[in-house]
Amino acid sequence: MEDYALSFWIYMGVMSVFVGGAMKKVLASHISAVPTLVAWLCVTVLVVRLCSLWPPAVLALAILCAVCYLLSGRGAPAHTLPTEGKAVLITGCDSGFGKATAHQLDALGFEVFATVLDLSGPGAVDLQRTCSSRLTLLQMDITQPQDVQQAFLTTKAKLGLRGLWGLVNNAGVCVNFGDAELSLMSNYRGCMEVNFFGTLNVTKMFLPLLRLAQGRLVTVSSPAGEQPFPCLAAYGASKAALGMFINTLRHELEPWGVKVSTILPSAFKTGQSINFEYWDKQYKNFVQNLSPGLLEEYGEEYMLETKELFQCHAKTAAEDLSPVINTITDALLSPQPQVRYYAGPGVGLMYFIYCYFPLSLSDKFLQRLFMKKKCHEQRHTKATIDSMVHQRFTGLQDVSLHTGQVTFFPVQ
């Protein structure tokens, strides 16, 4: 009886290791872990079957797990490439991810070319004051071809024959407000101009320097470019176009030795997202330019609630930018960088649900994030009532008037 109890507890210990490993993979933030998760689950089933057929296998597996655990604990730290002599250009360094990345890469020893919209702005001044002499500030609006050309010539002149080790496409904008039907055409064009055409122009311009160094192309994109986030149609469409371009480049640049990575961050407090005056200004511009017909159908209260929803998301966004900065650094320095990085709280789980759960469940997940509006529910109820009334009256075949009364003859 005592032997049975001992075997039982050893068995429970071994199964805890396997099941715990499986759960760890479920909660991991990288979708690439899913095949490993499947493998863990299959091995767990095999272990259960083996232990039921041959009890001594429990002890053998316990010893094996202990040995593997000890060996993994003594493993060498992850190898990274040296930064000496490597140059990186980062777009959009006035604030947010770009500015923080420029700080970190400069501290690691990279020669950093940081592009900003305003050389005299607070972001540029802070970078110049706090970073080393290796950092070079470049004025560049990625939507202006002459700015991109001048930044390229300056960078090429300083690098000589070394080439550019890394290009970090970080600059982007979310010029968007409201549902896809309500979003202004200027919002769609503004997002495409910056997020797609601007990044496209920068990438094409600097590719010869990247190929020369057999370097890294790192692009900060968004889950909104791959998942149908309500109220983010303009922004999402521009990021979807960018994603297709970058993924195509990944295949085309492989023979040249250039590795391509995409960063997919969750919500962070960066740029204008934390500026409530910005959202108020966007809202006023939005309502003033909306057609009277749409304004009447949706109602100004609905648009106001949309603005408040965006502001609420901005309040709850993460302040610590390190998850994104660390993934950019890994993409530049890892001997085998990942194709996709999921950076920030919740984004890995969101992708797991989107990719591996039924569409109905993933849709509910997105709607719970972005469709919490009371006005939306009221509008849905009104639309249902209107539809019922419409169906009732379209089912009438004839109308007769008798002494001021209306007689209805329904279709049989």
Nearest to 197 by CA among 152, 237, 148, 242: 242
Asked if residues 115 and 135 have their Cβ atoms less than 8 Å apart, the reply is no
State yes or no: is 235 an active-site residue: yes
Scored b (16 or more CB within 10 A) or e, 287-309 reads: beebeeeebeebeeebbebbbeb
Q: Are strands 136-139 and 111-116 parallel, antiparallel or unpaired?
A: parallel
Asked if residues 189 and 235 have their Cβ atoms less than 8 Å apart, the reply is no
Catalytic option among 235, 298, 351, 354:
235
φ/ψ (deg, to 5) at 114: -105, 120
Q: Which two tokens stand for residue 44?
A: 């767990």
> CA torsion 276→279→283→286, rounded to 10°?
160
Scored b (16 or more CB within 10 A) or e, 100-131 reads: bbbbbbbebebbbbbbbbeeeeebbeebeeeb
- Number of CB atoms found within 10 A of residue 32's CB: 12
> CA torsion 300→302→307→308, rounded to 10°?
120
User: First and final CA of the chain: distance in angstroms?
Assistant: 79
Q: How far apart are CA 39 and CA 33, in angstroms?
A: 10
Residues contacting residue 245 through CB under 8 Å, at least 6 positions apart: 196, 199, 200, 203
Residues contacting residue 235 through CB under 8 Å, at least 6 positions apart: 174, 175, 176, 191, 195, 222, 224
For residue 410, is it left (φ>0), alpha (ψ between -120 and 50) or beta? beta
φ/ψ (deg, to 5) at 279: -65, -35
Q: Is 345 helix (H, G, I), strand (E, B) or coil?
A: coil
Active site residues: 235
